[in-house]
Amino acid sequence: MVFIRLYREGKLERDDVSAHEIEALAHQDDVVLWIDYTDPTADDLLGVETVYGLHRLAVEDAVHDFQRPKLDRYPNHLFLSAYQAGLQPGTGELAIAEISAFVTRKALVTVHGPEFDADKLMAHWDAETDLAAHGVPFLFWGLLDMIVDGHFDAVQELDGHIDALEESLFDDHSPDHELQRKTFELRKNLVRLRRVVLPMREVLNTLLRRDDLIGCSPAMQPFLQDVYDHVLRATEWTESLRDLVTTILETHISIQGNQMNLVMKKVTSWAAIIAVPTAVTGFFGQNVPFFGFQSDYGLWLSTALMAGGSIFLYLAFKKRDWI
């Protein structure tokens, strides 16, 4: 499926352009097109490949999934591979949608699957109509800004989940297996997010260093610089959160070890207390005459020794907070 928007002299003129009009419109100097393909094949892209001189290697990358985020330069165009990211409501699982883009002087051609939110991209462009006069650099900036803002929002949501995880870390009523499960889920999401966020730094860096690649005007430079700043913040934030999750897991293991030591101290203390009556009854249970043998005095003596020894050990352990 293909959807085409036509901008003329910085204003949205039509959003119902058909594919057979592309060739004629491509030769008009005041026209900029956004050509959006959903799940196309290489044959579907043959028309725009011919009109805009798209490189066959870039076309091949566009129709194959799981490309590395990158910005490649070709004689007639740039080729972007990137990922939209966001947390799914309810489950909190990271959802990733791949998008490829061909950036030419007069058109932005995007290729993606049905999971990519194209409506959000159009809303982002429509909210910045004052920049539409810059043509393709405006469209390309809008795409990058939406992608990076999505990364930033995902990192921010993960930070909120980690804060909640930190609060439950010292909650005695929180099940250990639930805490471990959430910790590993967060770590998995952060690792996946890092894979799509980190390469964007090089994408924006290349674009800022080589602004001639798409004829970017000086007026668009601050906006691209702002996107680059967001990329740096999202990257640094992702790295710090990954370290924080590792720290939470290590802290949880340390707490479990401390709790185990506390249990062992209590068990040992009670075993020592129980050992006193055992020792006394063992001594007075000898089959030979001893002090108080076969007399009430011996009974009271053994009882007093058991009670006194047990109370003494209990108080001693209690003072040291062992029980």
Both 99 and 122 in one domain: the answer is yes
Number of domains comprising the chain: 2
Both 157 and 296 in one domain: the answer is no
Q: What would the two tokens of residue 89 be?
A: 């409501």
pLDDT score recorded for residue 26: 94
CB-CB neighbours of 45 under 10 Å: 23
User: Smallest Cα–Cα separation from 276: which of 284, 266, 264?
Assistant: 284
pLDDT score recorded for residue 286: 59
Both 154 and 97 in one domain: the answer is yes
Distance separating alpha carbons of residues 247 and 186, to the nearest angstrom: 13
pTM score of the predicted model: 0.81
Both 246 and 110 in one domain: the answer is yes
Alpha-carbon torsion angle 209, 211, 213, 215, nearest 10: -170
pLDDT score recorded for residue 197: 96
Both 176 and 282 in one domain: the answer is no
pLDDT score recorded for residue 159: 94
From 209, 232, 256, the end of a domain falls on 256
Q: What would the two tokens of residue 247 be?
A: 């720290």
Q: What would the two tokens of residue 78 be?
A: 């740039």
**CA Rg, the chain, in Å?**
35
pLDDT score recorded for residue 32: 96
From 203, 223, 256, the end of a domain falls on 256
Both 12 and 72 in one domain: the answer is yes
**3-state SS class at 266:** helix
- 150-198 confidence digits (pLDDT tens): 999 999 999 999 998 888 887 767 677 888 888 899 999 999 999 999 9
Containing domain of residue 299, as a range? Answer: 260-319
Both 299 and 237 in one domain: the answer is no
Distance separating alpha carbons of residues 179 and 52, to the nearest angstrom: 53
**Cβ(115)–Cβ(95) under 8 Å?**
yes
Both 230 and 272 in one domain: the answer is no
Low-confidence ranges of the chain (pLDDT < 50): none
pLDDT score recorded for residue 67: 94
Both 150 and 286 in one domain: the answer is no
Q: Which helix (H) or strand (E) holds 127?
A: none
- Residues β-bridged to residue 2: 37
Both 242 and 290 in one domain: the answer is no
**Cβ(50)–Cβ(26) under 8 Å?**
no
Distance separating alpha carbons of residues 299 and 228, to the nearest angstrom: 87
Amino acid identity at 110? T
Order of strands, sheet of 2-8, starting from the edge strand that comes earlier in the sequence:
11-14, 2-8, 31-38, 107-112, 94-103, 78-87, 70-73
Both 53 and 196 in one domain: the answer is yes
From 231, 256, 281, the end of a domain falls on 256
Handedness of CA 153, 159, 160, 161 (dihedral sign): positive
Distance separating alpha carbons of residues 144 and 224, to the nearest angstrom: 9
Both 91 and 10 in one domain: the answer is yes
User: Smallest Cα–Cα separation from 81: which of 94, 91, 93, 96?
Assistant: 96
pLDDT score recorded for residue 21: 95
The CATH number linked to 96 is 3.30.460.20
